Amino acid sequence: MIKPASLSEELFIVLVPNKENLTPILNIQQAIANHFDLYKGEFYPELHITLNRISKEASQQAEQILTTVCSRNEPIKIIIDSFKCYNLSNKFLALKLNTTTSLSKLATKIHHNLKEEDLSTIENYSDWEFHITIASTNFSGKKLSEDEFTDLCRSLDGLPKKITTTADKIEIWRPTLDPDEKVVASFNLS
């Protein structure tokens, strides 16, 4: 089992999908956020796929690894299958991804290189589930009640939502919604 992230101690290595073809998902995200008044201000969680986590101190070493890995990889194909709810201490609604060959190879290569240098903070990486978070209480001033979250999940969980897109950028992120504070480093897949 994967331990929850430590937002005060970790950075996130994320794959940023191209926004093309994601309009239906962005609309659902905005509707949920507005209906439940989840986020203060104008920022919503940017759609992304977390590939790995590192300690804040490991940023420079991880940047060197990602520079090498990204220079040898082409854009990644992303296939979104359906909605899935995760009811952990911090509730969140996510889109389940079909683990494409290109996504699996890239994520495994990054994890192997990070692990080799003892930088990845994820144990049991084989249990990792690729997903795109649509709504989360991590950055929300409002927590959903158990009933609200259950109702939301019932209405969306398992709903087929087959969407295909690509991603051609990997970034290291701080855990914040503010785009001016979030990105530590960015790498293009070439």
Q: What is the mean pLDDT of the chain?
A: 87
Residue 3 lies in a domain: no
Residue 14 lies in a domain: yes
Q: For residue 103, give the CATH number of its domain.
A: 3.90.1140.10
Domain that holds residue 24: 10-188
Spatial contact of 149 and 1, defined as CB atoms under 8 Å apart: no
Identify the CA nearest to 137 among candidates 49, 44, 38, 41.
Answer: 38
Task: Quote the percentage of the chain above a pLDDT of 70.
Answer: 93
3-state secondary structure of 173: strand
Residue 5 lies in a domain: no
pLDDT digits (tens, 9 = 90+) for 89-115: 566 778 888 889 999 999 999 999 999
On the question of pLDDT at 23 being above 90, the answer is no
On the question of pLDDT at 116 being above 80, the answer is yes
Residue 4 lies in a domain: no
Global confidence as pTM: 0.90
Largest CA distance in the chain: 47
Structural domain count of the chain: 1
Helix (H) or strand (E) holding 115, with range, is: helix 101-116
Identify the CA nearest to 43 among candidates 140, 170, 150, 120.
Answer: 140
Residue 66 lies in a domain: yes
